[in-house]
Structure 1
Amino acid sequence: MSIYDEIIWNPREIEQESMRQVKALLAGTHFTPGEGAVVSRLVHTSGDPDLAGQVRFHQRAVAAGREALRRGAHIYTDVTMLTAGINGNRLAQLGGEIHCAVHQPEVAQEAKERGITRSAVAMEKFGNRLRDQVVAIGNAPTALFTLLQMMDQGLKPALVVGMPVGFVGAARSKELLLEREVPYITLLGTRGGSPLAAATINALLYME
């Protein structure tokens, strides 16, 4: 018998076994069922059970996100990698679309002229289109800082998934998000990234 005969090859079985192990690892944590579904996806995506202790939810985050997506809310992102990870077919079934402006020529030109990131300019360009929609940030702290400034001026998204990654600004931007009353899901510290932000959105999309 080959050692490869012990490998699980079927993708459905791999998924089921992975989630079984994640469920066991999260036993004893105190999340609501909806929050638990999000955290399970984050742990599954990252392969890091310790991530569960770093996730923070606004008390209305899951309900607000589900409600927004089911009424056809659009999702606005900071980078194209995040758009690739979101289940666009499921979102389209609900009436929503994914938007990312970071590669628009005018965004790149303005960012160069102002000496700031394209993600920050792109978030500004979305403007009031973000009102009552879902914003997912999985890379650039400057995009989240820009969104926070817009929120300070009265903008209110339906949900902010704030998971920028890195050592310059990421942790601070998420600390500031925690102070807001807008529904949010975030991850403390320097960790984050587009796969985790996409996993969060997908968890909400898959909920019944």
Structure 2
Amino acid sequence: MDRVIHPIEQESYRRLRARLDTSHLPPLTRAVVERVVHSSADLAYADDLVMDEDDLVAAHAALHAGAPVVVDVEMVAAGITRRETVCRLKDARSRPGLTRSAHAVRLAHEQVGPGALWVIGCAPTALEELLTLDASPALVIGLPVGFVGAAESKAALRASGLPAVSNVSEKGGSAVAAAALNALLYHPVPADTSEETL
């Protein structure tokens, strides 16, 4: 079923595009940049986000083929309204050398295995833990926020070579992480496939 776009959202995008030229960006990169900017009202994300269009194309196909979506916190899950997500934070426990968020990532990895899309918008330690696992992700949306470890964990994600959406600065958060995933969910599936848009 096609998503019905509210007039307020249409007007918001019109104003966004009047202030920020995204027309030079490839389609999925443009979709992610615009939705993150739209969710945050922060035009600076256009220069802060880092992603590769080929990675997004592959992730978009995996997402629409039913790949699992794993989130680090329920706030990210709440922002992804058109897809079931996996969040194991309620089952996780902190222990020496392992935060609760990192343990939740381990539990989720045991549950979903390889090929998932991971959406991390809160805890840098969740992203750090993911990078230690053999997760073979379809995509890692790594946009944790904070003054301790956030920028460093995102730099480590970029250095890992995994397919990713990240940003360079300390900012981020659940809303922008969910927005990046939603951009891929809302973007139409190419007409030459038999998949349906979610």
TM exceeds 0.5?
Answer: yes
Residue 4 (structure 1) aligns with: none
> Partner amino acid for 1:196?
V
Alpha-carbon distance, 1:177 to partner: 0.8
1:116 equivalenced with 2:116 (yes/no) = no
Equivalence for 1:43:
37
* Alpha-carbon separation, structure 2, partners of 1:127 and 1:46: 29
Structure 1: runs of 5+ lacking an equivalent: 1-10, 92-96
Q: Any idea what SS the aligned residue of 1:76 has?
A: strand
Distance, in Å, in 1 between the alignment partners of 2:35 and 2:113 is 25
Point out 4+ residue stretches in structure 1 off by more than 6 angstroms.
Answer: none
Percent identity over the alignment?
41
CA shift in 2, pair 1:39/1:130, >3 Å: farther
Aligned to 2:155: 175
Structural RMSD (CA): 1.7
User: Aligned with 1:27: secondary structure?
Assistant: coil
Q: Does 1:163 align with 2:146?
A: no
Paired residue for 1:6? none
Higher helix proportion (structure 1 or 2): 1
Q: Residues 64 and 183 of structure 1 are in contact (CA less than 8 Å); yes or no, is this contact kept in structure 2?
A: no
> In the alignment, residue 125 of structure 2 is paired with which amino acid?
T
Among candidates 96, 118, 130, match of residue 147 of structure 1: 130
1:35–1:187 Cα change, 3 Å: same
| Residues 49 and 163 (structure 1), Cα distance of their counterparts in 2 relative to 1, 3 Å cut | same
Q: Which residue of 2 aligns with 1:134?
A: 117
Aligned match of 2:77: 83
Task: Please state how far the C-alpha of 1:15 moved relative to its aligned partner.
Answer: 1.1
From 153, 173, 194, the counterpart of 2:174: 194
Pair 1:30–1:179, CA change in 2 (3 A):
farther
CA contact (8 A) 2:22 2:30 kept: no
Structure 2 residue aligned with 1:185, among 162, 165, 178?
165
Alignment match, 1:5: none
Q: Distance in 1 between matches of 2:113 and 2:168?
A: 24
CA distance in structure 2 between the aligned counterparts of 1:28 and 1:45, rounded to whole angstroms: 16
Inter-CA distance 176–29: structure 2 relative to 1 (3 Å threshold): farther
Specify the SS of the correspondent of 2:58: helix
Distance in 2 separating the partners of 1:67 and 1:130: 18
CA distance in 2, matches of 1:197, 1:204: 12
Q: Does 1:71 align with 2:70?
A: no
**Using the alignment, how far apart are the partners of 1:19 and 1:176 within structure 2?**
32
- One-letter amino acid matched to 2:80: I
Name the CA distance, whole Å, in 1 between partners of 2:21 and 2:88: 40
Q: C-alpha displacement at 1:180, in angstroms?
A: 2.3
Given the two structures, how large is their TM-score scaled by the length of structure 2?
0.86
Aligned pairs for 1:85-104 within 5 A:
85-88=79-82, 91=83, 97-104=84-91
Deviation (angstroms), 1:78: 0.6
Between the two proteins, the alignment pairs up a number of residues equal to 183
Deviation at 1:59, TM superposition (A): 4.1
Distance of 1:28 and 1:49 partners within structure 2: 11
